[in-house]
């Protein structure tokens, strides 16, 4: 039996976003796995509870582990590496998530004007998410 | 789609798309669940920290409760595993030969990986301390 070629949307922009969704999804899995592993390396096994580990895994920010038994978050948990790391995560995750919302809503929108307005709103939300992320990461 | 084509919910449920239909539906719903939770969390944390707003306090308490955590963990874990399966099949189309087996493999990973933390979340919620 021959294997059918997977269906791919035509058009370069849509195809780029199609590829981005898959690559950013896999990258986010690796990012989550790495921050989880580093949480164990820093001694989180005896200093963090389960929710603390999950908060750290999805957004490695010192505010996310502040209510824990960690004596000093500046020892590994809070530095420029994690700031860049979490900014990359937020930029990818918000683009991935908002593009997903766009794709779902465009399945239900028929009027071309509605699609244009939706895309502007989605893009504005993504820029807003980036601004909030920069503020949160630099202020913590 | 179904809304504009006049397909009722009952007819949609009778559509026997099997594994693919379940995956597609759950992937969309869990994705929306994650966007909803993260968006709510960011907005609530902002108003809680800046103004100590009572509504933000209530929203924060709601999403820190164990039933919400069960829901959020379901969304994240299912979306991650299903997305990994989809992305790997798209990057390596030869895997499509085993697509049904991959779905069962996905559930075989999901079930223990969900139930074990869920057990501790429920136990911690029902019997605190």
State the pLDDT at residue B1.
Answer: 46
State the pLDDT at residue B74.
Answer: 96
Residue B113, both tokens: 């990986």
Which is nearest to B46 in space by CA: A124, A52, A128? A128
Domain spans of chain A, in order of start: 16-139
Q: CB B87 to CB A22 under 8 A?
A: yes
Which is nearest to B28 in space by CA: A17, A19, A100? A100
The answer to whether residue B76 scores a pLDDT higher than 90 is yes
Q: CB A22 to CB B84 under 8 A?
A: no
Separation of first and last alpha carbons in chain B: 48
Question: How many domains does chain B divide into?
Answer: 1
State the pLDDT at residue A1.
Answer: 45
Q: CB A3 to CB B83 under 8 A?
A: no
Give mean pLDDT, residues B67-80.
Answer: 94
State the pLDDT at residue A110.
Answer: 85
Q: What is the DSSP letter of A76?
A: T
Give domain status of residue B7, yes or no.
no
Residue A2, both tokens: 């021959």
The answer to whether residue B81 scores a pLDDT higher than 70 is yes
Residue A113, both tokens: 């004007």
Q: How confident is the model at residue B127 (pLDDT cuts 50, 70, 90)?
A: confident
Give mean pLDDT, residues B104-119.
Answer: 95
Give domain status of residue B6, yes or no.
no
CA–CA distances in Å: residue B12 to residues A108, B3, B22: 16, 10, 12
Give domain status of residue B117, yes or no.
yes
CATH code for position B27: 1.20.1300.10
Q: Is the dihedral of CA B92, B96, B101, B103 positive or negative?
A: positive
Residue A25, both tokens: 């999804």
Domain that holds residue B115: 15-126
Q: CB B42 to CB A132 under 8 A?
A: yes
Give the number of other Cβ atoms within 10 Å of residue B92's Cβ: 9
Q: CB A104 to CB B28 under 8 A?
A: yes
State the pLDDT at residue A10.
Answer: 62
Interface of A with B (CB under 8 A): 1, 3-6, 22-23, 25-26, 28-29, 32, 50-51, 54, 58, 93, 97-98, 100-101, 104, 107-108, 110, 129, 132, 136
**Whether the Cβ atoms of residue A36 and residue A62 lie closer than 8 Å to each other:** no
- What does pTM read for this prediction? 0.87
Residue B85, both tokens: 């399966």
Q: B9-39, pLDDT tens digit by residue?
A: 777 777 777 778 889 999 999 999 999 999 9
State the pLDDT at residue A18.
Answer: 92
Lowest mean pLDDT among A42-46, B41-45, B120-124: A42-46
The segments of chain A whose pLDDT lies below 70 read: 1-11
**Whether the Cβ atoms of residue A137 and residue A64 lie closer than 8 Å to each other:** no
State the pLDDT at residue B77.
Answer: 95
Give domain status of residue B121, yes or no.
yes
Query: Strands (DSSP E) along A8-125, which ranges?
Result: none
What residue of A is the nearest CA neighbor of B97?
Answer: A3
Which is nearest to A117 in space by CA: A102, A99, A95? A102
């Amino acid at each position: 039996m021959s294997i059918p070629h997977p269906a791919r949307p035509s058009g370069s922009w849509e195809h780029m976003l199609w590829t981005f969704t898959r690559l950013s999804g896999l990258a986010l899995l690796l990012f989550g796995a790495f921050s989880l592993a580093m949480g164990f390396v820093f001694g989180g096994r005896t200093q963090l509870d389960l929710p603390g580990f999950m908060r750290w895994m999805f957004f490695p920010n010192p505010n996310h582990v502040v209510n824990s038994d960690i004596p000093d978050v500046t020892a590994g948990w809070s530095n420029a590496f994690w700031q860049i790391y979490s900014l990359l995560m937020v930029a990818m995750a918000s683009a991935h998530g908002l593009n997903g919302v766009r794709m779902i809503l465009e399945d239900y929108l028929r009027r071309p004007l509605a699609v244009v307005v939706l895309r502007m709103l989605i893009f504005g939300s993504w820029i807003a998410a980036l601004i909030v992320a920069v503020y949160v990461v630099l202020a913590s | 789609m179904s809304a504009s084509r006049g397909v009722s919910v009952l007819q949609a449920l009778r559509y026997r798309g099997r594994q693919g239909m379940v995956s597609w539906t759950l992937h969309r719903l869990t994705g929306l669940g994650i966007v909803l939770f993260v968006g709510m969390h960011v907005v609530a944390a902002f108003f809680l920290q800046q103004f100590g707003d009572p509504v933000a306090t209530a929203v924060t308490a709601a999403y820190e409760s164990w039933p919400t955590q069960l829901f959020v963990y379901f969304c994240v874990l299912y979306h991650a595993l299903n997305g990994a399966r989809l992305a790997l099949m798209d990057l390596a189309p030869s895997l499509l030969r085993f697509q049904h087996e991959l779905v069962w493999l996905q559930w075989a990973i999901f079930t223990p990986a969900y139930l074990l933390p869920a057990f501790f979340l429920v136990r911690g919620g029902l019997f605190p301390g």
